[in-house]
Every structure is written in structure tokens, then in C-alpha cells.
């Protein structure tokens, strides 16, 4: 799978997270700190192999704007 970086936290080091990517399959990929403990147990209907990550809303909004600008 090929990934194209759309947006990342400007305060993170180098290419660290949180980040949002566009895959060559058209899906968005979110990279960030994994939820743990009570936060993770609050997720509903989690299937095997699924997880959730934390990401600032501004990063998601920038990723959406980049996605729209690229004509996707």
C-alpha cells in the first residue's frame, strides 16, 4: 500500500505523529498515540484487529483540506 502524507502535527519531531495519510486505495490512514485503559474500553463495537488513536481535530481538518485541494 502506498501512503501520501496529507497533514501532521507541526509540533512533532521529524516525521512523527499524529499524522493523516491517503492510501492508494483511497482510504485515509490516521497515525497517533493509541488509546489505552478506560479510554479504549469506552469504544463501542471494536472488532479484532481494530484500535483507535488520538489526534487533534485541526490536523484532521488540514488533511481534509489537502485531500480536497488534490482533487480527490
Give mean pLDDT in consecutive 10-residue pieces for the chain, a chain of 72 residues.
89 75 93 90 92 91 91 62
Give strand ranges (E) for 15-62. Answer: 19-23, 28-31
Closest Cα partner for 29 from 56, 65, 53?
53
Q: Are 5 and 21 in contact (CB under 8 A)?
A: yes
Whether 40 is covered by a domain: the verdict is no
Whether 41 is covered by a domain: the verdict is no
pLDDT value of position 47: 93
pLDDT value of position 9: 84
Whether 26 is covered by a domain: the verdict is yes
Whole-number Å distance between alpha carbons of 42 and 46: 10
Parent domain of 25: 1-10+17-34+49-72
For the chain, how many structural domains are there in total? 1
Whether 43 is covered by a domain: the verdict is no
Amino acid at each position: 500500500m502506498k501512503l501520501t502524507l496529507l497533514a501532521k502535527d507541526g509540533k512533532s519531531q521529524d516525521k512523527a505523529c499524529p499524522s493523516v495519510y491517503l492510501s492508494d486505495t483511497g482510504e485515509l490512514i490516521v497515525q497517533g498515540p493509541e488509546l489505552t485503559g478506560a479510554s479504549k474500553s469506552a469504544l463501542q463495537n471494536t472488532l479484532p484487529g481494530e484500535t483507535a488513536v488520538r489526534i487533534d481535530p485541526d490536523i484532521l481538518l488540514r488533511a481534509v483540506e489537502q485531500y480536497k485541494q488534490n482533487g480527490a
